Structure 1
Amino acid sequence: MTGAEFRTMALALPGTGEAPHFDRAAFRVRRIYASLAADGLSANLNLSPEEQAHYAALLPGHVRPVPNAWGARGWTEVTLSGLSPDRLEGPLRAAWARGSARGL
């Protein structure tokens, strides 16, 4: 998967908009649910800690907690290279659902 493919997938989710966020592209509905690194090699997803653990076990080598306090809250780094779009669909949709929910 490339950064361009990730962008296309994220923008295809209902209500999603894209805006700059520091050195990344952020994707949001009500809240930011994903961001794409400027080099297009990785993305961060806002998952619950339980979803993070599930996808890290399901996709080892591609999915891991962001290495700081944000990671403990569920922010998850995804390495895109070698990951097929169908494997990313579940975690991306889970992040989108969190970004769409009221009260997060």
Structure 2
Amino acid sequence: MISIETFRKLALSFPDASEEPHFEKTSFRVKKKIFATFDEKNNRAVLKLNEIDQSVFCASSEMIFYPVLNKWGKQGWTIVELSKVRPEMFEDALIRSYQNVLGKK
């Protein structure tokens, strides 16, 4: 299980990462772009993955990783069930999300 403290520590360990409110969630950003959000009420994260990473994570653990159920999901936004995900898998996905957003112009 990933706690908000662990999530925050990992997300803010990336260069230039910041934490800001985003509606009723907490967002983590790099260069003003969101790479992750935390939904405390549902104990879920949403990460911005590229198409390949999204399909790999979702295929390997479909009860833990799954696309957001709208147009955002088709753009790579992926829900992560924090009560079920292994810490090392979450860290890998979070790194990929950060790198994906950082690489955008």
With the length of structure 1 as denominator, give the TM-score of the two structures.
0.91
For this pair of structures, how many residues does the alignment match?
103
Counterpart CA distance in 2 for 1:66 and 1:40 is 14
Percent of pairs with identical residues: 32
Deviation >6 Å, runs of 4+: none
Mapped contact 1:43–1:79 kept (Cα < 8 A): yes
Unaligned runs of 5+ in 2: none
With the length of structure 2 as denominator, give the TM-score of the two structures.
0.90
Is 1:33 aligned to 2:35, yes or no? yes
SS at match of 1:61: coil
Match of 1:71 in 2: 73
Unaligned runs of 5+ in 1: none
Counterpart CA distance in 1 for 2:45 and 2:60 is 17
SS at match of 1:102: coil
How large is the Cα RMSD of the aligned pairs?
1.3
1:4 to partner: Cα distance? 2.2
Mapped contact 1:4–1:40 kept (Cα < 8 A): no
